[in-house]
Structure 1
Amino acid sequence: MNRSTLSLAGAVVALAVLTGAASMAGGDDSSAAPAASSSRLPVQRSTLLCPEPSTSEFAATTYTSFTPAGSGSGSGTSGGQATLVPATTKPKALKPLTATGKPVTSTTDASDAPALIGTADGSLAPGWSVGQTTVVSDGPGRGLLGTSCVVPDSEFWFPGASTQDGRQDYVHLVNPDDTPAVVDIDLYGKDGQLKGSTGDGITVPGDSSKPVLLSTLIADKVQDLTVHVVARSGRVGAAVQSTDAKAGTDWLPAAAQPSGDLVMPGIPADATDVRLIAYAPGSDDADLTLKLATSSGTITPADHETLHVKSGMTAAVDLGDVTRGDAGSLIVGSSSAHAAVPVVAGLRVTRGKGSDQEIAFLPATAPIDREASVADNRSKGSTLGLTATGKDVSVKITSSAGSTGGTAVSRTVTVKAGTTVSMAPPQPSGLKGSYAVTVQRLSGGRLYASRMLALPLDGVPMFTIQPMPDDQGLVEVPLAGADLRVLEP
């Protein structure tokens, strides 16, 4: 074989490698090339990280792994595997997912249950999701904790944390890679950044997890905090576990990236108190407008039309029982006549009263471009919150087959612009076990979604809310072809 033949083969291989790398990286840079020079293809590999569920001896945790049928695959399609293994020692994997369209569940009641590192490849990678649901039936952390396991990244925002008396908030960091990650945790209150001695340069060893108690980072007792997690090197998964001695416990998911236009979809109709926490990370103050998208249209909450957020500071406002019996979504915009100032925001939501109350957190959520799934749904207790902005949106909702039996079912609904549709997902026929729900945007404006799971226990309205951003199951891949000019001397 002569040098020209070898060079041509090498060029073709290089182009193939570049194309494959783009599909696996999950990036989406539509400005990098004209639309005609790229296509959307399913990702080939996905990674998800699940935090340590609970140290309570009264905790029981269910993991639900699911990949929706679609993205070029039919229901039940195999050709890949999705596995979850404990961080650090990795002695044993949970039950693997081997086919699309049907969830697989695993359970544990161990108080030392570890964080998990998960990978999916082949047909199981596009849209793969894992739900982690924990019921703590007694003790100071009693309540329902739910989270969707997260994609590793280098930056996370958590508005709504606290170090006030009665709260114990931990940042859980999980490192999926062999090499250590170095992480900074910055805390911002109403007067700006709070200085601590141990929040910078936290090392998370490879293939391991580390919980960090926020009250060990600062001495201040702060009611409303914004937590900023940044990986100096490597990548991590991050989530905040919040325990209130009087009001229960839940996971605080990461908020959508800073923006001047935010939506927090799916505030329950019976919320007894809703608290908004916002932070302005830039150099300018933010003047925000607050609107509530209800079942019949968009209104302005009485006495809470606007919110001023100073640069580098956290602002909070108690909206009370803002939904007043009609489930809604909070829409945060800019009142400035000039360019909108980006902020991050989230809600602390309370249901019940007195000793029979429970909390959950609902962060600003990225819109669904194509589809999103939430893995763990039961025969009762699941409620979808769907909000449309700009234009009406046509939405297809698919409830999967049950983990131990049943047949998938779909329903199409229209969400009118500026409104919120609150509904139970369609029940799978002959359901046995738990099921997953996939929300697919068919056409129209922007769509935002969340799922509330309510599992009442002994008079306590235990619940958790999971935001449903787009699953990023498809990515833009440049169209590549051999260019013989690379062979020219």
Structure 2
Amino acid sequence: MNRTTVSFIGVVAALAAVTGAATVLAPASDAGKTAPTAAVRKPVERSSLLCPAPAGVDAASTTYTSFTPAGSGQASGGSAVLQPGQTVDGSGSSNSGSGKASSNAKPVAPLTDPGKPAAATVDKSPSPLIGTADGRFAPGWSVQETTTIDAGPGRGMLGTSCTAPGADFWFPGASTSSDRQDYVHLTNPDDTAAVADIELYDSNGPVKTANGEGITIPGGSSVPVLLSTLTSAQTADLTVHVAVRAGRVGAAIQAMDTRNGSDWLPASATPATSAVLPGIPADATSVHLVAYATGTNDADLKVQLLTPTGAITPAGHETLHLKSGMTTATDLPGLTQGQAGSLRLTPTDSGSAASFVVALRITRGKSGSQEMAFLPGTAAIGQRATVADNRSKGGTLSLTAPTADATVKVTSSAATGGGSPASKTVSLKAGTTTALTPPDPGGKGTFAVTVEPVSGGPVYASRTLAADNNGIPDFTIQPMPDDGGTVAVPNAGQDLQVLQH
């Protein structure tokens, strides 16, 4: 008997044994087949968030606000902890003596109960934070990082929602021009090293870079990479792509402008054939659009501004053409005309749709007293969106329903200094944007806001924080996609047909 025959007999015997065992365990009805039921949504049991540390800033004040919505998960148990990590340069040497993220380090703004935000302020250069929440603190856990720089070339308000780790990030709106300093922050939450590539694309296509490939991010560390060190070209509008080869990272871009202040540029929503950018302030003095077609086909897009009264087409900017693999930038002068709005981009021809990413650089104020913020394409709210560090003054929530009427519930949590949760129901008309002040929960300190769709079509949201800085209108915008508090869990059934050829 040759080896092939022996192998064949062994396979048959193994299949017979498996079939016999399956027959014993299978239910008697329906020939051993149980139909699976529909997937159900259940609260997540663990969440990870990463907060980058601002680079190139000598003196600043940074506040971290942590929050988990009440009643999202199990009744007891769990924790939500932000631990300091270390910052290393591209060569792997440490730039801060803080050391690797560790349970021995003092946690920042630990939560004590869901529904009650916790905040902590650092008045010196902060460390990157690596956060983990589990049990009752995991569903919808959100952390806001807000930095205020009163003077200097980077003066302004920098705000970002700390992000979950991933493997693919797109950032239209970056720059290597002489008046900008843009850092890509790569943060690794795990014990083992991660490896990532940074790719740049300008109006002509890929930009040749030095040291942009194979960047190693040690475990529990963050690596800030100054974009101007990757290329000698001074380019006003770039698209940055962070592609992770090994492990997982959190990615964000810190943009500092000598004339227009500074802010974080969040990653755009996953490339898609349409986009919604919710929450352009009514008093925006400049709106600059940067987009990039990620696929092999060009994208031809219809441009609409969703105002409080309906959708309009900006004069002179009815359509937008994106060449595949190239960054396209355009100014949208006088876009808002004193009304808050949201930008919607859809294919001009559904038969030739192409995927793209997009972001806006928004400026408020006049020359010499200007501040900028960024608003990328944002994913719709699925079950709920959450944003922390809301304030009784200077906070605006923007909601838009691009395709159909919708109703949402807006809830403000109790503040860090007391108060009680406050809710209101908001009705949204199709093709409009509603800007409102979240309900005040009373008490002192900051509070969190959640938005839950009740009925109708998809809803997109963002939150704007604004403050006067000696005549300069500081502000920052945080997109509000779904907070990931629940996940669809399929129910599997037994099916012996998998054993048949």
Give the TM-score taking structure 2 as reference length: 0.87
Q: Is the 8 A contact 2:413 2:447 kept in 1?
A: yes
How many Å separate the matches in 2 of 1:165 and 1:484? 66
- Are 1:101 and 2:115 counterparts? yes
How many Å separate the matches in 1 of 2:73 and 2:440? 25
SS in 2 for 1:338: helix
RMSD: 2.0
Instruction: Measure how far apart 1:78 and its partner are.
Output: 4.3
2:315 paired residue among 287, 290, 302: 302
Q: Which amino acid aligns with 1:107?
A: T
How many Å separate the matches in 2 of 1:34 and 1:154? 35
How many Å separate the matches in 2 of 1:482 and 1:288? 47
Q: Is the 8 A contact 1:396 1:439 kept in 2?
A: yes
Instruction: Measure how far apart 1:478 and its partner are.
Output: 2.1
1:435 alignment counterpart: 447
1:455 alignment counterpart: 467
2:169 paired residue among 150, 156, 170: 156
Q: Is the 8 A contact 1:78 1:100 kept in 2?
A: no
Instruction: Measure how far apart 1:339 and its partner are.
Output: 3.5
Q: Which amino acid aligns with 1:80?
A: G
Q: Which amino acid aligns with 2:123?
A: D
2:79 paired residue among 78, 81, 88: 81
Alignment of 1:74-153 (within 5 A): 78-88=76-86, 89=99, 90=101, 91-111=105-125, 113-153=126-166
SS in 2 for 1:407: coil
- Are 1:207 and 2:205 counterparts? no
Q: Is the 8 A contact 2:35 2:493 kept in 1?
A: no
How many Å separate the matches in 1 of 2:469 and 2:346? 37
The more displaced of 264-273 and 87-96 is 87-96
Q: Which amino acid aligns with 1:61?
A: T
How many Å separate the matches in 1 of 2:35 and 2:57? 53
Q: Which amino acid aligns with 2:462?
A: S
Q: Which amino acid aligns with 1:314?
A: T
- Are 1:168 and 2:168 counterparts? no
1:71 alignment counterpart: 72
Deviation string 1:127-186 (CA, Å, 9 cap, x unpaired) is 000000000011111000000000000000000000011100000000001111110000
1:336 paired residue among 343, 346, 349: 349
How many Å separate the matches in 2 of 1:54 and 1:259? 31
How many Å separate the matches in 2 of 1:337 and 1:237? 34
Q: Is the 8 A contact 1:98 1:124 kept in 2?
A: no
How many Å separate the matches in 1 of 2:460 and 2:497? 47
Unaligned runs of 5+ in 2: 1-17, 23-33, 87-98
1:237 paired residue among 243, 246, 250: 250
Q: Which amino acid aligns with 1:211?
A: P
How many Å separate the matches in 2 of 1:68 and 1:238? 25
How many Å separate the matches in 1 of 2:398 and 2:185? 27
Deviation string 1:269-326 (CA, Å, 9 cap, x unpaired) is 0000001110001111111111000000000001011111111000011002300100
- Are 1:311 and 2:309 counterparts? no
Q: Which amino acid aligns with 2:485?
A: G
SS in 1 for 2:468: coil
Q: Is the 8 A contact 1:379 1:431 kept in 2?
A: no
Q: Which amino acid aligns with 1:335?
A: T
SS in 2 for 1:131: strand
- Are 1:477 and 2:493 counterparts? no
Q: Is the 8 A contact 1:134 1:145 kept in 2?
A: yes
SS in 2 for 1:226: strand
Distance 1:54 1:403, change over 3 A: farther
How many Å separate the matches in 2 of 1:98 and 1:41? 23
SS in 2 for 1:412: strand
Distance 1:408 1:315, change over 3 A: same
Alignment of 1:25-424 (within 5 A): 36-72=37-73, 78-88=76-86, 89=99, 90=101, 91-111=105-125, 113-424=126-437
The more displaced of 472-481 and 453-462 is 472-481
SS in 2 for 1:470: coil
Q: Which amino acid aligns with 1:403?
A: T
Instruction: Measure how far apart 1:485 and its partner are.
Output: 11
Q: Is the 8 A contact 1:279 1:314 kept in 2?
A: yes
Q: Is the 8 A contact 1:80 1:98 kept in 2?
A: no
Q: Is the 8 A contact 1:174 1:204 kept in 2?
A: yes
Deviation string 1:384-427 (CA, Å, 9 cap, x unpaired) is 11000221110100000001211110000111110000011011
Instruction: Measure how far apart 1:109 and its partner are.
Output: 1.0
The more displaced of 187-196 and 329-338 is 329-338
Instruction: Measure how far apart 1:482 and its partner are.
Output: 8.1
How many Å separate the matches in 2 of 1:58 and 1:449? 32
Q: Is the 8 A contact 2:185 2:253 kept in 1?
A: yes
Q: Is the 8 A contact 1:280 1:310 kept in 2?
A: yes
Deviation string 1:333-363 (CA, Å, 9 cap, x unpaired) is 1112513111100000000011110000000
Q: Is the 8 A contact 2:85 2:128 kept in 1?
A: yes
Unaligned runs of 5+ in 1: 1-6, 12-32
When Rg is computed on C-alpha atoms for both structures, the one with the higher figure is: 2
Deviation string 1:46-67 (CA, Å, 9 cap, x unpaired) is 0000001354233100000000
Distance 1:434 1:309, change over 3 A: same
Q: Which amino acid aligns with 2:285?
A: T
Q: Is the 8 A contact 2:176 2:233 kept in 1?
A: yes
How many Å separate the matches in 2 of 1:221 and 1:55? 19
Give the TM-score taking structure 1 as reference length: 0.90
Instruction: Measure how far apart 1:98 and its partner are.
Output: 2.4
Aligned positions, number: 453
How many Å separate the matches in 2 of 1:185 and 1:177? 20
Q: Is the 8 A contact 2:438 2:449 kept in 1?
A: yes
Q: Which amino acid aligns with 2:306?
A: A
Q: Is the 8 A contact 2:186 2:223 kept in 1?
A: yes
Q: Is the 8 A contact 2:73 2:139 kept in 1?
A: no
